[in-house]
Structure 1
Amino acid sequence: MNATEKWQPIESAPEGKPVLLWWTFAGKPIIGRVRGGVVWRGDIIEAIAGGEYRENFPFWMPLPLGPDAEYPAAASDTADVPWQWYSGRNDENFSFGPCDTREEAIRLAVEDGMCEERSADDPEVWENHIHLVEAQSAPLRLADWIGTDTLLERADEAVADSDRICHEHGDGPWFEATPEQEADLAARLCRACDEWQAAHGLTFTCRTFSATRNAEFVIVPQLRELLPAPAAEGGDA
């Protein structure tokens, strides 16, 4: 990498061109593109589906070895996270899953009975109204959530609210830095977070999905007592 290369604000990244977004704690480059104001993580061949918020990658740099070089696979929160099926009574709370198949997610919903509703065509008939979705639940990366792009601003606000400031003459800002220096601070903090998380083997999760696809609503006429019993393990299907 040219020593004169500096981290630059993501707003200045060339549209659709592969750029360096970050380095992982393992030293692998995170490469991506900016398309229509959205940052897309991925390798230099094809971006991984799912746009990232700009706050997650506020800076970019030209690729160290050029856009035609061979790079390791780009690190991604979702690269190794499986797509799995979930089902539920509505499209906000999916109570059943994760499941390896769509059919398994439907079976769990039917067996529970939570999704049973009267038919709109015949109130005397009961059926299952099931919402389905295929989703990923990627772990959380601490470095994405510490707000490096607003750190100095928040530090200024903290000083302003403290007893260190004479409000008659203290206008701030006190933590002034060039964009390059702010980018360097953000890089160091994110690298420290990545290294700390990896050193302690910490995996952070939450109950919401990181990505979804193939959402659908299905009506299944079979009720739980009519559902065929699953084949016994080792027996005939």
Structure 2
Amino acid sequence: MKKTADFLKENLPFIKIRKNHAIITSQAQEYHVPSNTYPVANKPTLRFFSYADTEQLDRDSKLAHLYDQLEFKVGFCYQNTENFAELLRKHNMNHFKTYTGWIVNGGLPVHHCWMVWKDKHVIDPGISLVDNLYLIEAQKRQMEYGDKPVPMDEMRQLFIQIHKEHEHKANSEIRTFGQVAPFTFYIGTETTPMQGRKIFNELMDKMPNHPSYANSGMNGRGESTLQKMLREQS
């Protein structure tokens, strides 16, 4: 846990971890995960996952071959994880657990579902290393505009353009396959994708103005405007 805490302090200082929860600071306000606003099930299995405490998997392995076989849909994390879990079970590869919970990817936590292989490798088709390329290009674009914000439509088109340029690459090459992307942090528990989807749906019914979704352009299943645009143009 100290290794993770040190990594966050140096690279993602707006995130702090305690024994049983994480604290995310945004616009001078603290958000605790888990909490009533950011709930999880099966709390005894709570774990944090970051770049510092996970390891990349072998891209020449059978696991990578199976990962590369599937076509994952943008914005469908629960189904994507379940589909890969089913494929692994068919091949008697059962050294995995499915997790649901919350991930931080530059903003407030959003609900998510992913897989952990042998307790130290995160497999998550929903987070692409191409996103890191987008963040770098977005920073360059912002420098060109100076103090003036870059138009949102321009940023969305940049996002789609970068993803299109890399969409031909194998899943194990561009999607999270073992080591967490350095700009992403996971807080989750051992739960099935179906349990995770139920938690999220109930939360949205109870809190339609949830702080992570109300002002971010996400729809009712957690798909962002960028993801929707990417899905519609694929």
The answer, yes or no, to whether TM exceeds 0.5 is no
| Structure with more of its chain in helix, by fraction | 2
The normalised TM-score by structure 1 is 0.27
Of structures 1 and 2, the larger Rg is shown by 1
